[in-house]
Chains A and B, each alone.
Chain A
Amino acid sequence: EDKVVQSPLSLVVHEGDTVTLNCSYEVTNFRSLLWYKQEKKAPTFLFMLTSSGIEKKSGRLSSILDKKELFSILNITATQTGDSAIYLCAVGDYKLSFGAGTTVTVRA
């Protein structure tokens, strides 16, 4: 059975802090690892990673994949209150298995 484990389950930081979110996986068919941000409603796409060692960046967010060790990290630097959300990791091919998510709360 496919397994995607995210850690920590939740964390609270102050504005300006840096956070690191972890995602480890065991899946039958790996094609990509995706990160999503979910605020009040639908998940919104952040990154798709397919190759090891190549960092994807978007503003203050960055992510990297290690296919040998079967994990990925998502970093958020200089956090802002608008970064408060649930961050979801999903792994697979067309059939994505989602982790339970990490709830990030950024306090002013």
Chain B
Amino acid sequence: DARVTQTPRDKVTEMGQEVTMRCQPILGHNTVFWYRQTMMQGLELLAYFRNRAPLDDSGMPKDRFSAEMPDATLATLKIQPSEPRDSAVYFCASGLSTSGDSYNEQFFGPGTRLTVL
């Protein structure tokens, strides 16, 4: 049963600390997305990778957020330094893009619930 995995599932930290969230996409998928979900804003796209290359991170606050794919089985989202307004659920999703900009559905991981005190 292939699924996207994310760690940690819950994270409570203090303002100013570094937070790293990890995602393992479904094997064989070549696209990875990072989303943030809050009650106020709903689901927002933060970053998008295809074949490990970052194609769009326009939704991400550049001064404190960074996203990388060190290899095809791992995507990371880092916040440094964290702030209380970063408190949200962060979802990773993966999918398969077969040609050009075409893509199929995105499969979501269980999310990381981040609380910054």
Chain A residues near B (Cβ < 8 Å) = 31, 34, 36, 41-45, 48, 88, 90, 93-96, 98-101
Is B87 close to A, CB under 8 A?
A: no
Binds A, one of B13-21, B61-69, B77-85, B99-107: B99-107
Question: Is there contact, CB below 8 Å, between A31 and B111?
Answer: no
Question: Is there contact, CB below 8 Å, between B101 and A42?
Answer: no
Question: Is there contact, CB below 8 Å, between A42 and B110?
Answer: yes
Question: Is there contact, CB below 8 Å, between A45 and B106?
Answer: yes
Is B91 close to A, CB under 8 A?
A: yes
Q: How far, in angstroms, from A100 to B97 measured CA to CA in the complex?
A: 26
CB neighbours (8 Å) of B107 from chain A are 45
Q: How far, in angstroms, from A101 to B43 measured CA to CA in the complex?
A: 10
Contact residues of B: prevailing secondary structure: strand
Question: Is there contact, CB below 8 Å, between A88 and B45?
Answer: no
Question: Is there contact, CB below 8 Å, between B42 and A100?
Answer: yes
Our pick among B48, B97, B109 for the contact of A95 (Cβ within 8 Å) is B48
Chain B 22-69 interface residues, beta-carbon cutoff 8 Å to A: 31, 42-45, 48, 50, 55-56
Question: Is there contact, CB below 8 Å, between B56 and A95?
Answer: yes
A66 to chain B, nearest CB (A): 21
Q: Which residue of B lies closest to A6 (CB)?
A: B42
CB neighbours (8 Å) of A96 from chain B are 45, 106
Question: Is there contact, CB below 8 Å, between A99 and B42?
Answer: yes
Q: A34-B105, A93-B101 are in contact. Are A41 and B111 (CB under 8 A)?
A: yes
Q: Which residue of B lies closest to A48 (CB)?
A: B105
Q: How far, in angstroms, from A88 to B37 measured CA to CA in the complex?
A: 12
Q: How far, in angstroms, from A41 to B42 measured CA to CA in the complex?
A: 14
Q: Which residue of B lies closest to A45 (CB)?
A: B105
Question: Is there contact, CB below 8 Å, between B91 and A42?
Answer: yes
- Supply 12 A–B pairs (Cβ within 8 Å), ascending by A: A34-B105, A42-B108, A42-B110, A90-B43, A93-B101, A93-B103, A94-B48, A94-B103, A95-B56, A96-B45, A98-B42, A98-B43
Question: Is there contact, CB below 8 Å, between B42 and A101?
Answer: yes
Q: How far, in angstroms, from A90 to B103 measured CA to CA in the complex?
A: 14
B90 to chain A, nearest CB (A): 11
